[in-house]
Amino acid sequence: MKKIAILAFLSLAVSTEALSAQLDVEINPGKTYQTIDNFAAADAWSGNFAGQYFAAPQKEQIAKWLFSQKLGADGNPEGIGLSMWRFNIGGGTLEQNGANIQPYQRRAESFLTKDGKHYDWGKCSGQIYFAKKAKQYGCGKLLLFSNTPPVQWTRNGQGYGEKGDNSANLKQDCYGKFADYMADVAKHFGEIGLTVNYISPINEPQVNWDSNRQEGSPWLCSEMKKLLVELDRALSERNLETMIYFGEAGHPKYNFTENAYGVPNKRWKKDPPDEHPNLIIKKFFDPKSKFYVGDLKHMPKFLCGHSYHSHCKNAEMQQVHKSIAAEAKKYGIGYHQSEWCMLPHFKAKDMDGFTPDWFSDNRADMQVALAMARIIYSDFTNANALSWGYWKAMEVNGDHALIGLYPKDGRLENGGTVRANKILWALGNYSLFVRPEYKRIDLKGADDLNKTAATAFASPDGNKIVAVFVNSSFECDTAKISLPEKYADSKVKAFRTDTNSDLANMRVCENTREFVIDPRSITTILFEL
């Protein structure tokens, strides 16, 4: 294949004396891998409060940051162009007398009336606001997800589990009711112009969710299959095309191993081994397994899972992701990374790419942004992920979230101000430019997560090439990019996220012949015919 070097120099770059290395990067659009489905984030839990109580300008700003695909007059993006929105179907703990989930903004509404017999479609109005805004801005897909069955149908009457109990917090005679409820919500959403593409009925079944920190329920394998069969029935009866988004393992290793932490889970000792929610891919997608669900009408040929606990050491992370890809390939299914955010209990010394002071600037600073970018790189290149999802879109003080909410007097009901966190713009390096139906394409010459690593994608018509570079080191790199001859006259744009830039448009000087990848930065380079 005849190639030509496409080279440029980004303004604001340091002198060549400071450059540590040159990367000879070769992009081959002729060699393709997976097709990208979406980039997503979730409205849980503060989205309902923000949508109801924050002033119109603040709500509009949140929506623009999350969903806009436009560039401003200065060439800087207005938002990050998410292509899927995750809507939390709450368990009703917000309106429940005696609910003790703390903090209170983690309590969620349900569309069920208190007697569990009727629907109140006026509930969750704040969430509906953002779901409609997502559609308005061109976010093409909508997913409904449940963390707990409605409290009217749980065994303990609460939105979280019992200590020492690994079984689903759902009454035996309510599996069909729960499935009908989720399908009815999807049907209603369609009637108000919100097409539901996916329903995720189970979240992190490996966790027992026995504390009051949020809604949640554990699940055993037979219980999961029972619910999936019921949900498949309910969707079919309503003639819905909605598909089931299944898996959501809390640790990526549970997709292919028995013991994610290297030792048996003591909590599972009382349950039969085959009931343990591990080896998820094999148990639910091997036709020989008694838990097989691959033949359900509404079950697509893919599994979704979370990337928590995989960001500490780069080498281990890449191996875990390769193992997921190998196991998924073994059973002929795809893989979606559906949820990640920085967890609070990790120390800098235990993680690659972090300095001792990382925690001082909240979990939304540039160090976390780079960690997220490394995970995205590995999920796409090693796990062959079809999508990538962040956890919370918004939260009080920005904790774990893309956007920080700062309420008056500490109460979301009083409204307040909003602020975009660094991780919002870091995610935008991917989500704004790598659109649904883009294919990951071959890129060689930048694959060191301790220094600089890059991924490349091509539009369906082949007229756009997107390359995202993640430089985790404290030194500059240069990137000499070669592409096929057809791209010799392509227009070039570049956008950078670092400590001082938020997905900023970087002027490209056409007369120079090198891309500079700044230290501790995420840089997106767009070639367009």
Q: Whole-prediction pTM value?
A: 0.95
- Bond before 149 cis per omega within 30 degrees: no
The fold of the 37-436 domain, in CATH, is TIM Barrel (3.20.20)
Q: Tell me the C-alpha distance between 109 and 104, whole Å.
A: 12
Region 326-340: what's the mean pLDDT? Answer: 98
Do residues 410 and 390 make contact, with C-beta atoms less than 8 angstroms apart? no
Question: Looking at the DSSP assignment, which residues form a beta bridge with residue 41?
Answer: 85
CB 401 within 8 A of CB 394: yes
Give the domain 3-33+444-528 fold.
Immunoglobulin-like (2.60.40)
Q: How confident is the model at residue 11 (pLDDT cuts 50, 70, 90)?
A: very low
Q: Provide the residue ranges of all domains of the chain, joining segments of one domain with +.
A: 3-33+444-528, 37-436
pLDDT score of 13: 40
Residue whose C-alpha is closest to residue 450's, from 390, 374, 367: 374
Q: Dump the DSSP string for 377-420.
A: HHHHHTS--SEEEEEESEEETTTTSSEEEEEGGG-GGG-EEEEE
At 359 the pLDDT is 63
Residue 510, pLDDT score: 61
Q: Kindly report, residue by residue over 130-161, the tens digit of the pLDDT.
A: 999 999 999 999 999 999 999 999 999 999 99
Say how many residues make up the chain: 529
Q: Which residue has the higher pLDDT, 200 or 21?
A: 200
pLDDT exceeds 80 at position 3: no
Q: Are 65 and 137 a contacting pair, CB within 8 Å?
A: no
Q: What is the pLDDT of residues 390-438, one digit of tens each?
A: 999 999 998 889 999 999 998 999 999 999 999 999 999 999 999 999 9
Residue type, 36: I
Q: List pLDDT tens digits, range 356-371.
A: 877 655 545 899 999 9
